Amino acid sequence: MIIKSCKITNFRNHEFFVLSCWKETTMISGENGSGKTSILEAIYEAMRGKSFRAVDRDILMKGADFYRVELEYVNGEEIVVVYENGGKKSFLAGEKKTARLPKKYKYPVVLFEPDDLNLINSSPSHRREYFDRWFGQLNDNYSSQINRYNKALKQRNELLKSELVAPNAVFSWNVLLSRLGIGIWKYREEMIKQINECLTKVYRSIADNDDIVQIRLKRDAEINEESIYLQKLEQIFNKDKVLGHTSFGAHRDNYEFWFNGRLADGSASRGEVRSIVIALKFIEADMIFKTVGKAPIVLLDDVFSELDEARQKALVYNFKKNQVIITSVNAVEDIETS
pTM: 0.92
β-pair type (25-29, 324-328): parallel
Residue ranges of domains in the chain, CATH in brackets: 1-107+296-338 (3.40.50.300), 118-294 (1.20.1050.90)
Mean pLDDT of the 194-210 span? 96
Q: How big is the CA angle at 271 (ends 270 and 277), to the nearest 5 degrees?
A: 90
Alpha helices in 208-324 (DSSP H): 226-235, 237-243, 264-267, 270-292, 309-318
Q: What is the pLDDT of residue 322?
A: 94
Segment 312-322, tens digit of pLDDT: 999 989 999 99
pLDDT(186) > 50 = yes
Segment 115-163, tens digit of pLDDT: 999 999 999 999 999 999 999 999 999 999 999 999 999 999 999 999 8
Q: What is the pLDDT of residue 325?
A: 96
The Cα–Cα gap between 55 and 50 comes to 8
Q: What is the pLDDT of residue 337?
A: 40
The Cα–Cα gap between 249 and 129 comes to 15
- Residue 331's pLDDT band, with cuts at 50, 70 and 90, is low
Q: How big is the CA angle at 196 (ends 190 and 197), to the nearest 5 degrees?
A: 95
Mean pLDDT of the 315-337 span? 77
- Residue 336's pLDDT band, with cuts at 50, 70 and 90, is very low
